[in-house]
A and B are shown apart, each in its own frame.
Chain A
Amino acid sequence: MVLVDMRNVGKVYQLGSTQVEALRNVDLQIQTQEFVAIWGPSGSGKTSLLNLIGLIDAPTSGEIYLANERVDLLDDDELARQRNQKIGFVFQNFNLVPVLDALENIMLPLQIRGIQYSQAKERALSRLREVGLEDHWNKRPDKMSGGQRQRVAIARALVGDPALVIADEPTANLDSGNSRMIIDLMRELNRRDHVTFIFSTHDPRLLEHVERRIRLEDGRINGTE
């Protein structure tokens, strides 16, 4: 089943008086449960593509469907709802909320959804156990290592049982040991929970583990392996 369907999508950024064409005529389909890497040189449009798939940016042209629902025309509130319910994000810089501890960070998407505190806590604890950080539940991000923070971020991305997790260079700020652990963890969750993972990366170790690699160059898809 097709989860993400992009049809002739283009994205143009206006930088002062200059127009930068970040994506050109992108046609892309991603199936459910896929483990997909988007790779390419810097400035090739990887992040722009992920932003459009993650509904945090709007295309300049073309159509985007998520689980067969056209999403590029939705209003802001509806986009927020779709992001909260269908998409999880893992960021290069972890992007945890500094004043919340690990458990509270993981609970965040559920609380935004309006789920009761006790239920949200139970589900967050379960995800925290899955990423092996149950003993660190009350630590704030500044008291955790980079690897631990990214595991918390993955738990946060998965706690709402999304159909899709988008990870923008998830291992870019991690050492090789932690990178390996994060890759294995994402792969395991992809297989076990049948969650679709799409991520951008430069990391060749990560590319070895993916089912499909989509190469971007100058804003165009330049081959799928």
Chain B
Amino acid sequence: MTMIAGAVGRLVDHFESGLDAPICLTWELTYACNLACVHCLSSSGRRDPRELTTSECKALIDELQRLQVFYVNIGGGEPTVRGDFWELVEYATAHQVGVKFSTNGSRITDEVAARLAASDYVDVQVSIDGATAEINDAVRGRGSYATALRAMERLAAAGFVGFKLSVVITRQNAGQLDEFKALADRYRAQLRLTRLRPSGRGADVWDQLHPTAAQQRQVYDWLVAHGEEVLTGDSFFHLSAFGQPLPGLNLCGAGRVVCLIDPVGDVYACPFAIHDEFLAGNVRAPGGFARVWRDSELFLELRRPQSGGACASCGLFDKCRGGCMAAKFFTGLPVDGPDPECVLGHGERLLAARGDVPAPKPSIDMSRRTPRRTRAKVVSVAEVGPLPARPCDESPVAGVSIG
């Protein structure tokens, strides 16, 4: 979700104390995936046999409709491998729940592209993590770049304007932002850039893949220069401490305006926090999703005023709000301290002092036990070259672009 400037002011207080229902909800429909990206934040691969059934999914959609959740971000795993995927998309849109789904593109045939282009209520997000096959395939697996490009060609040919090209920024691709933009423009898509999180398998490769301090600065400058034409899912608010705030709410929405529902119906505070520590409940329990959202102890705790901890005395705290809870947790840093990518370097210093204490591991790991032929290799960093108003509180209305 990206919010445009103009949304903050008093609204932030309302968001921090939680809304009656999420603005934006991520639903990982399956852990099954035909790729094995090294940084997969949900450690996907194999299907969980306890997955929600088709009728349970439909009951959940009915509930989201009652709560007026305007749209869901469907992901996985690769959601399109579920046999009932299109049935569920159709059911959701027929019940005023819009769908944006993430895909590696492998199931986007010409026929599917035409169907998607014809719907006002479905948006598609194709994932690519390198503007060249070499950089992408090192992370997402051999052939995955060509697959994603073919999907984008088909969507463009079908007349789908404004689908999303979604990129996780890494040390290896941080110098390719202009190329990504050009790629999105070529297919009349919109570029969406998000932050690499040390979540899921991402924890294993974060040290090698996360952008350097110098790259963080370049990313910030690039985002400032491109403003609202590029979506970020509000993921870089920790970089707002560099200067002017980036477009968006610039706060952690976990359990306040966002949450995650996983394939077995477990509800977590955010898509990057699949760990018992952030598990709020399950949609199969009495009271369903609404009770979890409204009454879970974890969510109520997250909505209480946060102290800021070690960051409270920092002059930049108002801008970065201490950064990303999940990024701190999975790198073994205290959640009330600085973000591992704190622009002042406080996180880096803490990481260096952390020593060999193991960071928490995700509670769920559906990675395939035997690596497939397509499984990506951990990137060799040596192969990669050098890297190239305050919102108006007066107006009674403010707007955002969803992303």
- A and B from one assembly? no
